[in-house]
Each structure stands twice: as C-alpha cells, then as structure tokens.
C-alpha cells in the first residue's frame, strides 16, 4: 500500500505529548505485550529459529509489529489536518453558505467540524479517537483504517502462536482421573529440553496475552468494518447523522425535496479512492471536494444551516422506554450495541424509564445528547450530556401533538 511511502513529519516536539494519555499508553501496552509474548513463545517453546518455518514465522511477527506501529504513529502524529486559522473561501459570496467558528476565527470549510478536544476545526472530521489521542479526519483516515485492519490480523497470528504453544507444552503434562484433571508444570517432558522451561509464570503470561489478542481482534475488527462501511459511502460518522436529521426535517415538514448526499461518487471504488491512494496522500486539499452530478458544492453545509435555524431538528427529542445503567459496553442491549460502543472519551449517561433526552448527534446504534433534569422538556437548563443506546429510547410521540407546524408553515418551509 502506498501509505508506507509517506513520511511521518512532526510539526514540533509538542506532538510527543500525545503519548502521555491513557489511550496511547493502553494501546501501545497491548501491542507490546502481544508482540513480545508471541515472539518469546515462538522462539523458545513452539517454533525455534533454526527451522525454516520458525524463521519465516518470526519475520512475519516482526513485520506485523512494524506495520501496526507505523500506521498507529502515522495516524497519531500526522493528524487529521486542520482548517487554517482565519480561513475564508476564495469567493467571499460563498461565505453565506458556511458556518463561522469563533474559536478558530475562521469559516468552517465543507465537511469540517470543530473538535473541543483538539480545539481546532478538523478537515473532514469523523471522530476524536482517545486511542490515538487525536482526531480521525482527512489526512490520517487511511492510516487509521489500516491500523484497524492490521491490528486484528496481527493479533490472530499471535493468538495462533499462544494456543499452539500451550497445546504443545501441556499435551504431555495432562493427567486425567475419574473426577479430576491435573497439570504437571515441572520441567518439560520432551527431547530436546527447551533452554527455559515452560513453567507456571510462562503459562500465565501466555494465557493473559491470548486474552488480550482475542479481545483486540473482536473489538478493533468491529471498528474496522464500521470505518470501511462509511468509507465506501464516502461519509463520516458526523455526516451520517446530518443526513439522518435532513430526512427527518423533510418528513416532518412534508417538503417536496429529496436530500442527496453530495460527496457520494456513486461507486464504491471511487469512494474508496477518495481515502486510499498509492501515494499515501489523500485526494484534494481537505477544503474543496469533488461532488456528484446535480449537487451543489455547499449542499451539506446548507443543510447544516437549515438544521441550525430549525430548533426542532437541531436536537431530536426522545423518551426513555427502557432503563440503561450507563455502562460503556452494555451486554444487555444487544450484541451490535455492545461491539459498536463509541470509541470516545465522552461519557455515557444513566437513563431511567420515563425520562426525556434531546439527541444532537448519533451513530447507528448509539445517540449523543442531553438528559433533561427539569420538569420542562423544552426549556430545561439543568442537563447531563453523554452517549446512550438507541434501542432504549424512542422518538417522543408528543412531538406530533405539541410541536406540529401548521399546514401552511410546512409548505412555506
């Protein structure tokens, strides 16, 4: 892949501070443990280096580690790309289609959004990922996705080494009784004897690494499929929510219009090439984007302005129909909800049946919004903000009764 031709460039040494965060510490710790244990188990107890297969296996393990770390650091330090401070469109008349960011003192370019963690407007922002302590966006979307692909593949290889090591080392040590199974963890009963015996400590470390490898394969693998799904549609997670609210707005006001996502090139291959290129550098400059035929360059930003002006669709009101404990990955909300838990530092909020939520954005199986603590739903001030599963809420039925716009107003809108 041409991504490996690109060179990681540090804007300054301050970027190294991104490593001092729980996300990178945990991620790099998992990579180090799985890689180191796989190499140790392979060399000492499963596939020695003096064999051809052992040498090839060891080289493959090193290759996985290098490629995983390369794409991880590339995604972290290259970053998503930020809208230049003070940026404005070349044609001053186009500024009426754009939102203005007071923090960056610049207009938000198409597909860009302001990240409160990075404190900058991010080009083609998808989300802020705590595991790389940076945003995923225009410049690092390909590296981030390759990391999500390579990490599970490397962990599958490592898991195979762990399983085979324990199998070969414990096979002759198992003794079965009528009601018991005993494991003799003394010196290995095979010829030739290993340099270091496979003892209890080695068994515990291998078993722990196997758990990390399997957990990483499942969790990161699910994230990879989610990312590929939106890449093949040339969308981001934020844009998927904007599109959902656009359809809701059109349906509510019964408008004679159809919202067409402007950046879908109409072909999965063309959408794929918008992110992955042989040169490793994404197409475009992150400010201007190719659009499908019949769409306007600012179709999405115009829709955002409409939603911002319409208080009803700025936040969608939901009523809690089932309790939610506020856990990060709830097992009782379904397997898809469990594995698609938002990869973000933002909190989850505890919900009880009968409460009201104002959702401002969301994913397929999760929503983000404010839980209103006051008696008044629309004028509530005291709120708790965070993520919650979609399947524990429903759109508030009172919207159709109390917030219904007059027929004439619908047509005018």
What residue spans define the domains of the chain? 13-80+139-176+196-232, 315-395
Examine the pLDDT at 311 and tell me if it is beyond 90: no
CATH 2.30.30.40 fits 315-395, yes or no: yes
Nearest in space to 142 (alpha carbons), one of 81, 85, 83: 81
| Range scoring the smallest mean pLDDT among 52-61, 345-354, 394-403 | 394-403
Whether pLDDT at 186 is above 70: no
Q: Is the distance from CB of 287 to CB of 83 less than 8 angstroms?
A: yes
- Contact (CB, 8 A) for 93 and 309: no
Q: How far apart are the first and last CA of the chain?
A: 48
Residues with Cβ < 8 Å from 340, sequence gap 6 or more? 222, 226, 363, 364, 365, 366
Which pLDDT does position 363 carry in this prediction?
79
pLDDT at 50 > cutoff 60: yes
d(CA 138, CA 110) in angstroms, rounded, equals 12
Lowest mean per-residue pLDDT among 74-88, 166-180, 291-305? 166-180
The continuous run of DSSP H or E covering 320 comes out as strand 316-320
Q: Largest Cα–Cα distance of the chain, in whole Å? A: 89
Average pLDDT over residues 316-337: 87
Q: Determine which one of 129, 136, 155, 343 is catalytic.
A: 129
Q: What is the average per-residue pLDDT within 132-160?
A: 96
Is the pLDDT at 387 greater than 60? The verdict is: yes
129 given a catalytic annotation:
yes
φ/ψ of 146, rounded to 5, equals: -65, -35
pLDDT value, residue 24: 95
Give 16-53 as a 3 state SS string. Answer: HHHHCCHHHHHHHHHHHHHHHHHHHHHHHHHCCCCCHH
Which of these ranges, 10-24, 122-136, 196-210, has the smallest mean pLDDT?
10-24
For all residues of the chain together, what is the average pLDDT? 83
Mean pLDDT, to the nearest integer, of 281-300? 86
Q: What is the mean pLDDT of residues 231-242?
A: 90
Predicted structure pTM score: 0.79
Among residues of the chain, what percentage have pLDDT more than 70?
83
Q: Does residue 263 contact residue 300 with C-beta atoms inside 8 Å?
A: yes
Cα 101-104-106 angle, rounded to 5 deg: 60
């Amino acid at each position: 892949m041409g991504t490996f031709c690109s060179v990681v460039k540090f804007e300054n040494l301050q970027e190294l501070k991104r490593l001092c965060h729980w996300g990178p510490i945990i991620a790099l710790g998992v990579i180090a443990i799985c890689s180191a244990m796989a190499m140790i188990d392979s060399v000492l107890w499963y596939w020695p280096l003096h064999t051809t297969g052992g040498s090839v296996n060891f080289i493959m393990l090193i290759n996985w580690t290098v490629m995983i770390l390369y794409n991880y650091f590339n995604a972290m330090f290259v970053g998503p790309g930020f809208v230049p401070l003070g940026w404005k469109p070349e044609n001053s008349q186009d500024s009426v289609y754009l939102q203005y960011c007071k923090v960056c003192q610049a207009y938000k370019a198409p597909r860009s959004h302001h990240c409160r963690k990075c404190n900058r407007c991010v080009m083609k922002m998808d989300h802020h990922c705590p595991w790389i302590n940076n945003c995923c966006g225009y410049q690092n979307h390909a590296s981030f996705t390759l990391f999500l692909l390579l990490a599970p593949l490397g962990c599958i290889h490592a898991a195979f080494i762990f399983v085979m090591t324990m199998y070969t080392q414990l096979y002759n040590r198992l003794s079965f009784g009528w009601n018991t199974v005993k494991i003799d963890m003394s010196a290995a009963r095979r010829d030739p004897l290993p340099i270091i015996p496979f003892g209890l400590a080695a068994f515990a470390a291998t078993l722990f690494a196997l758990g990390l490898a399997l957990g990483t394969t499942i969790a990161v693998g699910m994230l990879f499929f989610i990312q590929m799904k939106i890449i093949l549609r040339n969308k981001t997670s934020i844009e998927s929510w904007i599109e959902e609210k656009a359809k809701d707005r059109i349906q509510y006001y019964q408008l004679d219009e159809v919202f067409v996502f402007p950046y879908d090139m109409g072909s999965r291959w063309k959408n794929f090439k918008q992110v992955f290129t042989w040169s490793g550098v994404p197409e475009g400059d992150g400010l201007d984007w190719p659009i499908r035929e019949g769409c306007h360059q600012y179709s999405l930003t115009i829709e955002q302005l409409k939603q911002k002006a319409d208080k009803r669709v700025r936040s969608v009101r939901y009523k809690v129909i089932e309790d939610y404990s506020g856990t990060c990955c709830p097992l009782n909300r379904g397997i898809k909800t469990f594995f698609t838990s938002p990869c973000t530092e933002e909190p989850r909020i505890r919900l009880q049946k009968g409460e009201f939520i104002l959702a401002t954005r969301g994913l397929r199986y999760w929503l983000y919004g404010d839980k209103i603590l006051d008696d008044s739903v629309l004028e509530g001030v005291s709120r708790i903000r965070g993520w919650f599963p979609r399947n524990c809420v429903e759109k508030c039925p009172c919207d159709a009764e109390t917030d219904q716009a007059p027929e004439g107003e619908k047509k005018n809108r």
